[in-house]
């Protein structure tokens, strides 16, 4: 009986010791109790390389926060936000009224953050002698009213028009700003013979190979293999401007825009910390390095 009682005491001591060691481990190493968190980030192909660079840098700062970045277009990202399948949607355009309404019906209150600025560069093949276009000429080309390069000072060649696909925020911005001159009552669309390409890289590749092609792309994607065309405004058609960080910052290049991130509601926790970091000087330096334009003053809306 004495041996049985002693055995029971021994087992109780082992249990208490084991429990005490586990609690002590958590208390002395609180990081062991932290769960790694994944932030799902999806949307604009214009922003995707920048978002990937941000994610890579941020994970050296906070290794426990994993950031998953995918493209697919602004519309795809905002649809995923509405469907509650992402934490952050990237967009190279404002959220549309119908998207905002759908989000609110789903119980959300989307928050918009301006995270960088960009220019839409008009690009042609380096062999093309055309260096300048007025905004009116550019609009007429994409409306299908100007169809030969000789009509704008070039050679007698047909114009091959390239555009991003309709789900792209860049497509929507170009449509509204260039083809429709910012007129919300204008329902003109791209000429039916415009070739729609799925990526910014695809437009660069096609313009590089086709001397008849004209396309447009985010400034951060333009390479030395294509030529940027200087564009005038409607108000001062005699002044032509090449897109650059400086001409975007001083608003002299007309076809420029803000780039956005959207969250389903006011961000908290790690998502708030990540957005705050994106608006920091460190993250904005990455914006500059990738050919986009850093923001100076940002306000949460």
To which CATH superfamily is domain 36-117+258-289 assigned?
A: Periplasmic binding protein-like II (3.40.190.10)
Task: List per-residue pLDDT tens for the chain, 301 residues long.
Answer: 444 434 333 333 333 333 333 333 223 333 433 456 999 999 999 999 999 999 999 999 999 999 999 999 999 999 999 999 999 999 999 999 999 999 999 999 999 999 999 999 999 999 999 999 999 999 999 999 999 999 999 999 999 999 999 999 999 999 999 999 989 899 999 999 999 999 999 999 999 999 999 999 999 899 999 999 999 977 777 899 999 989 998 889 999 999 999 999 999 999 999 999 999 999 999 999 999 999 964 443 3
The residue extents of the domains of the chain are 36-117+258-289, 118-256
CA distance 145 to 64: 55
> CB within 8 A of 78, min separation 6: which ones?
43, 89, 91, 95, 96, 99, 262
Query: Which pLDDT score is estimated for 238?
Result: 83
How many helices (H) and strands (E) the chain has is answered by 10, 11
Q: Tell me whether domains 36-117+258-289 and 118-256 share a fold.
A: yes
The structure's pTM equals 0.81
Cα-based distances in Å from 275 to 5, 200, 272: 61, 25, 5
- Residue 162: the pLDDT is 98
pLDDT of residue 235: 72
Q: In this structure, are residues 294 and 287 in contact, taking their beta carbons and an 8 Å threshold?
A: yes
Facing residues of 65 across strands? 37
Q: What pLDDT was estimated at residue 36?
A: 67
| CATH architecture classification, 118-256 | 3-Layer(aba) Sandwich (3.40)
DSSP element (H, E) containing 18:
helix 2-28
* Residue 176 per-residue DSSP state: I
């Amino acid at each position: 009986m004495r041996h049985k009682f002693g055995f029971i005491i021994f087992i109780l001591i082992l249990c208490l010791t084991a429990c005490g060691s586990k609690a002590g481990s958590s208390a002395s190493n609180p990081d062991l109790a932290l769960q790694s968190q994944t932030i799902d980030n999806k949307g604009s192909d214009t922003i995707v390389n920048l978002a990937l660079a941000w994610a890579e840098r941020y994970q050296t700062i906070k290794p426990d926060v994993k950031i998953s970045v995918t493209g697919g277009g602004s519309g795809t990202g905002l649809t995923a936000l509405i469907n509650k399948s992402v934490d952050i949607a990237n967009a190279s355009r404002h959220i549309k009224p119908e998207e905002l309404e759908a989000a609110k019906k789903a119980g959300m209150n989307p928050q918009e953050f301006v995270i960088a600025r960009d220019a839409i560069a008009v690009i042609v093949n380096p062999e093309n002698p055309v260096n300048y276009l007025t905004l009116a000429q550019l609009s007429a080309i994409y409306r299908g009213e100007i169809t030969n390069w000789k009509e704008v000072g070039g050679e007698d060649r047909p114009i091959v028009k390239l555009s991003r696909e309709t789900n792209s925020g860049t497509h929507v911005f170009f449509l509204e700003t260039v083809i429709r001159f910012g007129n919300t009552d204008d329902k003109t669309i791209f000429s039916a013979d415009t070739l729609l390409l799925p990526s910014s890289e695809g437009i660069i590749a096609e313009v590089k190979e086709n001397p008849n092609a004209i396309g447009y792309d985010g400034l951060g994607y333009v390479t030395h293999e294509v030529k940027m065309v200087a564009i005038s405004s409607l108000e001062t058609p005699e002044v032509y401007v090449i897109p650059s960080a400086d001409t975007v910052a001083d608003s002299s290049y007309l076809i420029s825009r803000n780039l956005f991130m959207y969250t389903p509601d006011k961000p908290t926790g790690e998502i708030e910390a990540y957005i705050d970091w994106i608006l920091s000087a460190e993250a904005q330096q990455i914006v500059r390095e990738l050919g986009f334009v850093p923001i100076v003053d940002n306000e949460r809306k």
